[in-house]
Amino acid sequence: MVTSTHQHQGAEMPPSTAPTQQSYNRQGSRGIVRLNVGGKKFLTSRSTIMQAGNCMLASMFRGKFNMETDEEGFAFIDRDGERFRHVLNFLRCSSLPSFDEAWRYEEIMEEADFYAIEELRELCERQLEALEEAKRKEKAKSFACRVTIVEGAADGTAGQGNGGGGGVGTARERYGTGYFTLDEDF
Which residue positions in the chain have pLDDT lower than 70?
1-30, 142-186
| CATH 3.30.710.10 location in the chain | 6-138
> What does each C-alpha distance from 114 to 19, 44, 53 come to in angstroms?
26, 19, 14
Report the pLDDT value the prediction gives residue 14, as an integer from 0 to 100: 42
Are 33 and 44 in contact by the 8 Å Cβ rule? The answer is yes
Report the pLDDT value the prediction gives residue 1, as an integer from 0 to 100: 30
> What does each C-alpha distance from 183 to 90, 134, 142, 143 come to in angstroms?
42, 19, 10, 7
Predicted TM-score of the model (pTM): 0.60
**Protein fold of 6-138:** Potassium Channel Kv1.1; Chain A (3.30.710)
Report the pLDDT value the prediction gives residue 150, as an integer from 0 to 100: 65
What is the distance between the alpha carbons of residues 20 and 22, in angstroms, rounded to a whole number?
Answer: 5
Q: pLDDT (tens digit, 9 = 90+) per residue, 172-185?
A: 566 666 555 555 44
Report the pLDDT value the prediction gives residue 63, as an integer from 0 to 100: 77
Report the pLDDT value the prediction gives residue 84, as an integer from 0 to 100: 97
Are 56 and 116 in contact by the 8 Å Cβ rule? The answer is yes
Are 63 and 112 in contact by the 8 Å Cβ rule? The answer is no
What is the distance between the alpha carbons of residues 135 and 126, in angstroms, rounded to a whole number?
Answer: 14
